[in-house]
Amino acid sequence: MSKELEAFLEYISVTKALSSKSVQAYMSDLSLIEEELGKALIHLDSSQLLALLSNYNNKRTLNRKLSSVNAFFEFCHKRDFDASMSKFKLSKIPKLLPKFLSFQEIQDGLSLIDKSSWLGLRDYALILFLYATGARVSEALELSRTDIEGEWLHIRHAKGEKERIVPIAKVARIAIDAYLNALKYENDFVWVNYQGTKLSRISAYKITQKYLGVSPHILRHSYATSLITGGADLRVVQELLGHASLLTTQVYTHIQKQNLKETVDVYHPMRNERL
């Protein structure tokens, strides 16, 4: 690893205080480029770098690596290192509306669960919990019993290491209590597997896939979509989801606009009129 790259990683971890995951992502992207091209990143020319990055067909992956490169050279420029490479433009990625489930679809999936065992109660409670809180699956799986206080949830293991507190619907809290009361294992983690140890991401995926046909993250989208279409303020939704930037939350405004259009199409007296 070049000394310039080491300086950059120290800068983002100490001065910028980025999360350990973010620093690891930068290090992975940039050190791999140095290794594959066999020279310090600061001495690369545009053609070499673009030739390497052209191997990535996934635009999101490509943009992440380009962002890492741009951040590195911006740092070098500010530190008066010998860097003459200009910034690269990111690939345009079409904005896709996030997939989500309606409340009725979620209810239909919940009706399939056999709640006669503690495992069934767990599956039922987990789905309700994800939909009621909008928590990321990684946040849910790190949840301890003390993180639930009444009808409030304290998310301590959030993305970017930013804690937040969100409310839990009463019906979800009742389902969680029923599951925990039936649980035959003692474990500080709320969500456990059949052996009594912490539930894995793969197991959580299998649960939501079995009953709803989607990944756990779709329940997070469903939570946000329900709030937005119900009239919730965008900044409130941003806070509940734990988004660092409002730009991330704004994708749901497209759903809100679509919902408004459909409402007008259905209820406006001129919907079927021709002038």
Catalytic positions, written as ranges = 136, 159, 217, 220, 243, 252
H-run or E-run covering 266 = helix 253-267
Could you give the CA distance from residue 162 to residue 121 in angstroms, rounded to a whole number?
Answer: 30
Exposure on the CB side of residue 68, measured as CA atoms within 13 A: 24
Burial class (CB in 10 A: 0-12, 13-18, 19+), 101: buried
The answer to whether the CB of 73 falls within 8 A of the CB of 87 is: yes
Q: How many CB atoms lie within 10 A of CB 15?
A: 9
Report which residue type is found at 71: A
In terms of DSSP H, where are the helices of 11-154?
Answer: 20-37, 46-53, 59-78, 103-110, 118-133, 137-141
Joined tokens for residue 153: 């949830």
